[in-house]
């Protein structure tokens, strides 16, 4: 069965501190992993995907197939990072059918 687990519903850190949002998955194949973000009053939008290996807004995420994890990290949190973050997976090339985690609400304190 396909499943995405985000163990933290809420995460609060101070501005300038490192941030790590955890994501574990189960999938019987080669998944594609994504992080989506929803800022206040905005629509859900793609933050990054493992295949692109990019750093977006200072965030990075590494796919660890051995630990079936795709944790999102940022070395120095900014107040504008406060948002809801969702980890999601799909089959290769299949952004049309996403399995989402429950989401983590990240709050950056000044």
Site string for another protein, 8-27 (x = CB under 8 A): --------------------
29 lies in the binding site for another protein (CB under 8 A): no
95 lies in the binding site for another protein (CB under 8 A): yes
Phi and psi based region of residue 53 (left: phi greater than 0; alpha: psi -120 to 50; beta: remaining): left
Which CB sits closer to another protein, 17 or 46? 46
- Contact predicate 90/97, CB 8 Å: yes
> How wide is the angle at C-alpha 2 spanned by C-alphas 29 and 58, nearest 5°?
85
Site string for another protein, 48-87 (x = CB under 8 A): -x-x----------------------------------x-
The DSSP code for 80 is: G
Q: Using DSSP, state whether 79 is helix, strand or coil.
A: helix
Q: Which of 28, 30, 40, 96 binds another protein (CB under 8 A)?
A: 96
């Amino acid at each position: 069965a396909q499943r995405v687990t985000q163990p933290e519903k809420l995460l609060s850190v101070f501005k300038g501190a490192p941030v790590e949002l955890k994501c574990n998955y189960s999938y019987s194949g080669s998944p594609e992993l994504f992080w989506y973000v929803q800022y206040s009053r905005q629509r859900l939008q793609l933050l990054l995907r493992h295949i692109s290996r990019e750093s977006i807004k200072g965030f990075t995420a590494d796919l660890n197939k051995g630990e079936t994890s795709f944790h999102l990290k940022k070395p120095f949190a900014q107040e504008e990072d406060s948002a809801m973050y969702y980890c999601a997976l799909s089959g290769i090339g299949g952004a049309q059918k996403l399995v989402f985690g429950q989401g983590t609400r990240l709050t950056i304190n000044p």
